Structure 1
């Protein structure tokens, strides 16, 4: 029988910072939630409520988000180290990763690097495309500079980081470049991955860009049997966790209950 873990909330140190972590404890399968680029862990509360006590839910705020401390390093590699630190601190082995946007890309990269340590991933509206090149970088920087006065307010609402507009832009530029170069990673993933896809555009996108981007998954789904679409929902990218949490929870349950999961855990 799996040993019940006590609930825990606290700070996990990593590099020059500390991350605010919540662990509901219990005997259930550990599910680790990975946030959007500037979001805090509060965005998962509806999904967690929908899944209930059958799972052990672990959420955390990335650097300078939510209640976590600031850092000198907001890179994607720093985010990889943060996930490693949280898993080690909470004694989690073979988690089911559930990532939204930035967190979805983080999930598939961590799974690629740790194929024997992951049970699977549910990726919420992330796909291997991005704005790249000088034109893309310029567009991203202009977007965040226009938003600079709103960012401190958005940070208090869990929608932005405690960063400057240029730091927000740097995070987004790196994410777009990593996302756009992720096709080989998805081609070789050996763990089960289920995508929950939104519909339409979102903040910073226009003219159906995101819907076209989602079609990039089609050839990957055709060639890698470990990848599948669990659901396509009517909400847009920004509102998917608010309006379609029951669907995300359903896909998590289906992946956790899939026949291949027992084999992976036994192996």
Structure 2
């Protein structure tokens, strides 16, 4: 496996590329996570695929930046693809990364093979003044915990306020994602959890997942591959086999189309 350092804007991303001739799979992390969370999915899929992982800005081993915006994350996908030469990749995103994958696919229909969204990219978010205040309070309460969980890939090298701003922005983006999903023309498969998570109880998370139903009715390219028993935080660890199955499903559809 090749370890890469990829320059982009004012920063540099830590990445890894297994190489190989199989379909390229690019993994997009949760908002504050690092590439280590994909280990089980990569192992389950095996060496029939080319696996490309990377840490977003200020996550994992990547450098810090003056720009942690969603648009910066989209530029980072471009930088990773340029550096690795991967063509028509399958984008596999968890949480924040699922939204990144959906937006990138909608903007780059001729460059993407397919998308797997893992418990993310659902048209539901905490928005408005009340939602923003709830998010800021949550991260303010967590400000002393964030540095402690950072070594485990659960926080970024950001202040609590910067963590909150990333979360506020992505909530507004997912709340408005339905028209973006309507535009996607490649195969998209969702793997959804069923439980709650930090910051969102069972009922709230189920409402988020139910928000997909009108999108599924409008766009035949998008289907739910599996609903699994774990929650948002544990899905990569507990249900890696279902995620790998969704990747294989998308890979087969992509191969049949080309």
TM-score by length of 2: 0.98
Does the 8 Å CA contact 2:19/2:50 hold for their aligned counterparts?
yes
- Residue aligning to 2:27: 33
**1:139 and 2:138 equivalent?**
no
Query: Helix, strand or coil for the counterpart of 2:182?
Result: helix
**1:80 and 2:80 equivalent?**
no
- Residue aligning to 1:3: none
- Residue aligning to 2:108: 114
**1:69 and 2:67 equivalent?**
no
- Residue aligning to 2:87: 93
Aligned equivalent of 2:54, options 45, 55, 60:
60
> In the aligned structure 2, how far is the partner of 1:128 from the partner of 1:104?
12
- 1:263 Cα offset (Å): 4.7
**1:216 and 2:211 equivalent?**
yes
Q: Deviations over 1:205-263 (max 9, x none)?
A: 125101011101111111110000000000000000000001100111111112xx235
**1:173 and 2:173 equivalent?**
no
Does the 8 Å CA contact 2:13/2:63 hold for their aligned counterparts?
yes
> In the aligned structure 2, how far is the partner of 1:18 from the partner of 1:255?
30
Does the 8 Å CA contact 2:194/2:202 hold for their aligned counterparts?
no
- Residue aligning to 2:255: 262
- Residue aligning to 1:186: 181
* Correspondence 1:7-22 to 2 at 5 A: 7-22=1-16
Query: Helix, strand or coil for the counterpart of 2:112?
Result: coil
> In the aligned structure 2, how far is the partner of 1:241 from the partner of 1:132?
27
> In the aligned structure 1, how far is the partner of 2:79 from the partner of 2:231?
32
> In the aligned structure 1, how far is the partner of 2:241 from the partner of 2:110?
29
Question: Unaligned regions of 5+ residues in structure 2, if any?
Answer: none
- 1:8 Cα offset (Å): 1.4
- 1:156 Cα offset (Å): 1.0
Aligned equivalent of 1:158, options 153, 156, 168:
153
Query: Helix, strand or coil for the counterpart of 2:156?
Result: coil
Query: Helix, strand or coil for the counterpart of 1:208?
Result: helix
Q: Deviations over 1:167-220 (max 9, x none)?
A: 000000000000001010111211110000001210101251010111011111
Aligned equivalent of 2:243, options 242, 248, 262:
248
Flag as ranges the 4+ runs of structure 1 deviating above 6 A.
none
- 1:36 Cα offset (Å): 0.1
**1:43 and 2:40 equivalent?**
no
- Residue aligning to 1:238: 233
